[in-house]
Structure 1
């Protein structure tokens, strides 16, 4: 039987994501684990998370999951969600700067705070709530998902991929930013598909069937 591995490094509530994947996976079990060997035995992997890149990298390294992720990314279908997307890039500006996994060239930067006293300033950091995502290119993960669908976001930092060809979808919050990225057998979403109702479940279902 095939298995979907959710990488557990202690940052984030994985219950809702696990349940969502169980609902949409027709042929495999869902395994939540921090054991590198157990995760490498899975057919596909999901890297979720909330919080900051520095603490994420610290825990991934402590649990010896960082090398496992890089190894698995060479061949297995892999999905990053929220912080899991950010840590897939090379660098984050958070907390004075920290190196990340480097699966995508590029960096992670903070949304600018509104200037104090600016009349009509509406942007608040973190960016929290529903936002439309414009599909930048066709991809199997978008199958059945209408362009400019609404997805749920919670983040203060966003990815700046170095290669525009890696941008799978964009959203707007003060300025356009990469809401989804992909290359080869890896994809990642800044939003939470498991909290994004039917379109989010469709994305997760597409991932369970994705054969890059």
Structure 2
């Protein structure tokens, strides 16, 4: 039976591109895969893997997700209780934090301790938002991770963001990029992963990442 991938539609994600990227990666995945864009909590609860995209301001995305009846409960049950592999993308990754500080303080899911704060590059000539291609640098924790460690340093990924995840625990940071200092690029713990970059727009590295996510076993 094909594995079921739920891409959550809560009105705050680049769903078409994410779904297409997953479908492309699924062509080379070890297991047959069906990608389903859905706003139904019951689909999320039944999914084998879950993807949460996000584009826009932290507070808007947090409010939009919580406004879908039953969705946060379905997510919590599937990810934290049933240990289904989870991937947050861009603001979907930021929502894993305890809180985001964009236009005020807003509560996140609190699955990975930390906060999302404004980018402050040491080089004031660097523009905000950080937009474009940056090399991905795996940390020691990332190299030890079964998914991230299977990828190679030196890949480039596409970023568009003005805020970044400051994790409370260094071992939850699996990769960084350099933008006037280390910026969190991948976070993770247990069955939970998040990317600040857009894997669906990151060509070779992004496709390898999505394929690895589809094949990831805990």
Asked whether 1:197 is paired with 2:198, we answer no
In the alignment, the residues of structure 1 paired with residue 191 and residue 5 of structure 2 have an alpha-carbon distance, to the nearest angstrom, of: 14
Q: Deviations over 1:9-60 (max 9, x none)?
A: 0112211111111122241100000100111111000011110111111111
Q: Deviations over 1:92-114 (max 9, x none)?
A: 11111111100100100001388
User: CA contact under 8 A between 1:144 and 1:202: conserved in structure 2?
Assistant: no
Asked whether 1:160 is paired with 2:155, we answer no
Secondary structure in structure 1 of the residue aligned to 2:113: strand
Match of 1:127 in 2: 130
- 4+ aligned runs moved over 4 Å, structure 1: none
Match of 2:55 in 1: 50
Q: How many residues align?
A: 207
Match runs of 1:40-189 below 5 Å: 40-64=45-69, 65-74=71-80, 75-112=83-120, 121-136=124-139, 137-138=142-143, 139-142=145-148, 145-189=151-195
Secondary structure in structure 1 of the residue aligned to 2:164: strand
CA RMSD of aligned residues (A): 1.6
User: CA contact under 8 A between 1:70 and 1:101: conserved in structure 2?
Assistant: no
TM (normalized to structure 2)? 0.90
TM (normalized to structure 1)? 0.93
User: CA contact under 8 A between 1:89 and 1:100: conserved in structure 2?
Assistant: yes
User: CA contact under 8 A between 1:86 and 1:159: conserved in structure 2?
Assistant: yes
Match of 1:14 in 2: 15
Q: Deviations over 1:41-89 (max 9, x none)?
A: 1100001111011111111111032222222221100001100010011
Q: How far apart are 1:144 and its partner, in Å?
A: 5.2
| Alignment gaps of 5+ in structure 1 | 115-119
Q: How far apart are 1:2 and its partner, in Å?
A: 1.4
